[in-house]
Amino acid sequence: MRLSVVVVLPLLAACAVGPSYRRPAVPTPETTRGERGPGDAASLADSPWWAIFRDPALQALVEEALRGSHDLRAAAARVEQARNQIAIARADMFPQVSYQGQAVRERTFVPGVPGSPGNVTFDSFLGTFNLAWEIDVWGRIRRATESARADYLAAEAARRGVLLTLVSDVAQAYFELLELDRELEITQSTRITFQDTLDLFRRRYVGGIGTLLEVSRAEAALTQARAGIPDLERQIVAKENQLSTLLGRPPGYIARGAALEGESPAPEVPVGLPSQLLERRPDIQQAEQALVAANADVGVAVANFFPRLGLSSLYGGQSSELENVVKSAGNVWAVAGSLAGPLFQGGRLLASYRASSAAWDEAVEGYQQATLRAFAEVSSALVSQQKLKGVHADRDETVKALQTSVALSLQRYNDGIANYFEVLEAEQQLFPAELDLARTQRDQLVAVVTLYRTLGGGWRLAVPDWGATPERPAARENGRTAPGNER
């Protein structure tokens, strides 16, 4: 009999009711629109992609952000919370040992005792060690632990997502800052040119060889360019403040490295297979761990329908004198087994199961939506990067052609075969074209950042103190089968 109990209890504790996890099917494209060929997904996830720009100032800003970002620290704190929730859930799998002490002074009436005053006062001291253990026959505790571990992995994926977003935001804001610097440089140079033109027309007008129309048009061009300078300076300060916030420091000046035109777009990005995208995007990993947790919660709800089996015991001593409690150890002991299960709870357990199942359905939809959104973002980023190359080439040619036009019109004016209106018109066309080229250069750099972000690149790089990325749960490989039917 004893042998059978020893054998049966571990076997019972090894089973777990409820569904086993199976990743839902998601329509996965064989290729991604704009994809140029497979790449190494692992190296993409590991590599510090911001280093490809070879801008020491950008790399320094990224490193500072990784050290000082409050959002990243908050995400790390959430990971630590989730890590300890695993220990809390898992603790119920082990016997719970506690102690208890009690001291009582009591007076009672004892009638009919010869020689007794009737009232008797006595002391009682008790000290025991208590042990209680719930045998996890139906896997309720293991399912709760599985849910807590999935929550932890989801928190870790969320931290990696914060890291990825932080680095991307820093890089994007930095390139936007460089573009604003370039716009300011172009605008200031144009203002000087337009000021010289206005001075020339005024001299011509005073000398009687020019018209007021020439002066008015030149003055309008100057004031329009001049009005853009304070607005650009305002935007530069706002962008520096945005970067300072991302870095976790008070608002202030941001050091620059290479100028915008000195930044070269990154080489071809290794995209990899669409299926690899599921393995390296933190948001998809977070969504899947939410699935694992929801699946485990269904198991907990199912286990609550079954009775709970427990063992308990106590061992200690009791005496009328405090100093004899230890000496009398062993005169108080008890061993008990318990079996308790629900009979009627007003529909609470069934409602709990249905709620958990609905939470699973919600998590499935969230996972599928996150996956489809990821494919769409990657496709858009790839196409954007490719198309911007053509836009940049055309706008670069436009600027070169207009620069030639300005030089030729100025030469024609100096040769006396054209008026200065040709020069002014060419300069007015060149100014917005140069701004458009600067914005396209910014868009190209931001497109590279966006592509790496959508591909989940660089998220495995973390502050060393945080340690390595945890492994995914083994339950991921199992099939999820609901009680009585396939889900």
**What does the alpha-carbon distance between residue 74 and residue 71 come to, in Å, rounded to a whole number?**
5
Reading phi first (left if > 0) and then psi (alpha if -120 to 50, else beta), residue 104 is in beta
Q: Could you tell me if residue 303 is inside a domain?
A: yes
Q: Answer yes or no: is 103 within a domain.
A: no
322 found inside a domain: no
The CA distance from 89 to 144, in Å, is: 6
Question: Which pLDDT does position 19 carry in this prediction?
Answer: 86
The reply to whether 323 falls in a domain is no
Residue 329: what pLDDT?
A: 65
Element (H, E) at 315: strand 308-319
DSSP letter, residue 49: G
Provide the 3-class DSSP secondary structure of residue 424: helix
Which one, of 132, 141, 138, 129, lies nearest residue 88 by Cα? 141
- Nearest C-alpha neighbor of 54 from the set 445, 451, 460: 445
Beta-strand ranges (E) seen in 50-201 are 96-109, 119-135
Separation CA 446–CA 256 (nearest Å): 16
The fraction of the chain above a pLDDT of 70, given in percent, is 80
Determine the structural domain holding residue 28 and report its residue range.
Answer: 2-93+139-307+347-486
Structure tokens at 332: 């108080």
pLDDT of residue 47: 66
Total domains in the chain come to 1
Which residue has 């490719």 as its token pair?
A: 386
Q: What is the pLDDT along the chain (487 residues), one digit of tens a residue?
A: 444 444 444 545 456 888 888 888 887 776 655 555 444 545 555 567 888 888 899 999 999 999 999 999 999 999 999 999 999 999 999 999 999 888 888 877 666 655 555 676 777 888 889 999 999 999 999 999 999 999 999 999 999 999 999 999 999 999 999 999 999 999 999 999 999 989 988 998 898 887 898 899 899 999 999 999 999 999 999 999 999 999 999 999 999 988 888 776 655 665 555 667 677 889 999 999 999 999 999 999 999 999 999 999 998 888 777 777 677 666 888 999 999 999 999 999 999 999 999 999 999 999 999 999 998 998 898 899 889 999 999 999 999 999 999 999 989 888 888 888 888 889 999 999 999 999 999 999 999 899 889 888 764 544 433 333 333 333 333 334 433 333 3
User: What per-residue confidence (pLDDT) applies to 174?
Assistant: 96
Contact assessment for residue 268 and residue 36, using Cβ atoms and an 8 Å cutoff = yes
- The tally of CA atoms less than 13 A away on the side-chain side of residue 104 is 11
Cα dist from 453 to 30, 226, 284, 343, whole Å? 21, 37, 13, 53
Strands 96-109 and 485-486: unpaired
Collapsing DSSP states into helix, strand and coil, what is residue 463?
coil
Residue 141 has a pLDDT of 93
| Bridge partners of residue 131, in order along the sequence | 97, 313
- Give the per-residue pLDDT at 331: 80
Would you say residue 399 lies in a domain? yes
CA-angle at 193, arms to 191 and 194, nearest 5°: 65
Is the Cα dihedral 279, 280, 281, 283 positive or negative? positive
Q: What is the CATH number of the domain that holds 293?
A: 1.20.1600.10
Residue 342 lies in a domain: no
Q: Could you give the CA distance from residue 420 to residue 205 in angstroms, rounded to a whole number?
A: 13
484-to-19, 285, 341 alpha-carbon distances in Å: 9, 29, 21
Alpha-carbon span 169 to 450, nearest angstrom = 9
Alpha carbon 360 to chain centroid, angstroms: 22
Is 209 among the domain residues?
yes
Q: Note whether residue 75 is domain-resident.
A: yes
pLDDT digits (tens, 9 = 90+) for 229-261: 999 999 999 999 999 999 999 999 999 988 888
Contact residues for 429 (Cβ-Cβ < 8 A; gap 6+): 402, 405
Closest CA relative to residue 274, chosen from 387, 361, 382 = 382
Count of beta carbons in the 10 Å neighbourhood of residue 368: 16
Residue 58's pLDDT is 94
Q: Token pair for residue 32?
A: 């991604």
Q: How far apart (Å, rounded) are the C-alpha atoms in residues 234 and 249?
A: 20
> Read out DSSP for 314-358?
EEEEEESSGGGTTTTTTSEEEEEEEEE--S--TTHHHHHHHHHHH
**Pairing relationship of beta strands 481-482 and 332-340 according to DSSP bridges:** unpaired
Q: Which residue has the tokens 């599928």?
A: 368
One-letter identity of residue 59: Q
Candidates 244, 225, 218; CA nearest to 185 is 225
Rg (CA), the chain: 37
